Amino acid sequence: MPELPEVETIRRQLAPQLIGRTFVAGDAHESVKFAPALDAVGATVTDVRRRGKYLIFDLDDGAEELIGHLGMTGSFSRTAAEGEHPACTAHDAWVRAVWRMDDGNDLVFRDVRRFGRLRVVTAGDYADIPTLRDMGPEPFDPAFNGKVLHERLQGSRRAVKTQLLSQRPVAGVGNIYADEALFLAGIHPLSRRVGRARADRLAETIVAVLRAGVDNGGTTLRDYVDAEGDAGRNQHDLVAYGRGGEPCVECGTALQTRTIDARTSTFCTRCQRV
């Protein structure tokens, strides 16, 4: 599932191909999740940014933004133009949006499970995108540290993992990297009390696992591919996520799996303290 490293990988690949290009036509799935893709037709891409797990295409020097979320199975790719007019059906059954660019290529958004979303907003107006509006600091921003994380975790009494997945303490952490960061920090996912010292450690491990994910081109468990269609390599480095029943790399205890907030969580009952 695309989290910060996967989205960042895609951003880096798309940016040089799209900056300066104009959307000259488009086609989109009828769902309200994808139809807004057509609102970008006529606009020129002036930058391709990322905020948490959201891709943000700046349009017309910042007047508007095309915002994309990959959901569970979303992916972007570029292909030579297919047909005289862009059409989702010219590709495969899971393509939800196609934009024809002024360089004769198509930008394609494919999303099997349709958990993704596309929309165009006035620049910076995220009133209708609550997760983006309330998003915490970027983990790679120098301003993000244990002090900031500690303060932001104080705002809620919910379990630390639940808070991380909300995107409010810090941007871009999903289920995989949350399990990894909590494991490396020695913090139980159900902990409701993360003091300053543990917050310092957690901030460090969050940055470390996300950086490793970017360096490895993302984590591919099943669906994720980058904008070139290639899988990531970070799945080989995971030490907690998806390893329930296997021995903890630190102490050898069998890792435990349980559902927290309808999501699978894997952790070590010995190394990770509540």
Residue in 177, 186, 185 with CA at minimum distance from that of residue 203: 185
The correct pick among 12, 21, 152, 158 for binding DNA (CB under 7 A) is 158
**Which one, 6 or 101, has the nearer CB to DNA?**
6
Write the CA distances from 175 to 58, 127, 248, 264, integer angstroms: 28, 25, 18, 8
- List the structure tokens of 240: 């907690």
By DSSP bridging, strand 64-69 and strand 45-51 are unpaired
* Orientation angle between helical segments 175-185 and 196-215, nearest 10 degrees: 130
Q: How far is the CB of 135 from DNA (least distance, A)?
A: 9
Question: Is residue 264 a contact point for DNA (CB under 7 A)?
Answer: yes
Give the C-alpha separation, 70 to 108, whole Å.
Answer: 12
Residue in 20, 262, 5, 59 with CA at minimum distance from that of residue 159: 262
Residues 6+ apart with CB under 8 A from 104: 80, 81
Question: Is residue 256 a contact point for DNA (CB under 7 A)?
Answer: no
Residue count, binding to DNA (CB under 7 A): 38
Catalytic positions, please? Answer: 2-3, 53, 263
Q: How many CB atoms are closer than 10 A to CB 102?
A: 12
**Which one, 155 or 195, has the nearer CB to DNA?**
155
The answer to whether 53 and 2 are in contact (CB under 8 A) is: yes
Question: Is residue 236 a contact point for DNA (CB under 7 A)?
Answer: no
Q: Which helix (H) or strand (E) holds 259?
A: strand 256-260
Q: How far is the CB of 56 from DNA (least distance, A)?
A: 13
Question: Is residue 156 a contact point for DNA (CB under 7 A)?
Answer: yes
Question: Is residue 143 a contact point for DNA (CB under 7 A)?
Answer: no
Q: How far is the CB of 223 from DNA (least distance, A)?
A: 9
Question: Is residue 233 a contact point for DNA (CB under 7 A)?
Answer: no
Question: Is residue 130 a contact point for DNA (CB under 7 A)?
Answer: yes
Q: How far is the CB of 61 from DNA (least distance, A)?
A: 26
Rg (CA), the chain: 20
Question: Is residue 72 a contact point for DNA (CB under 7 A)?
Answer: yes
Question: Is residue 96 a contact point for DNA (CB under 7 A)?
Answer: no
Q: How far is the CB of 195 from DNA (least distance, A)?
A: 18
Contacts with DNA by CB under 7 A lie at 1, 3, 31, 33, 52-54, 69, 71-72, 93-94, 112-115, 117, 128-132, 155-158, 162, 165, 167, 174-176, 222, 259, 261-264
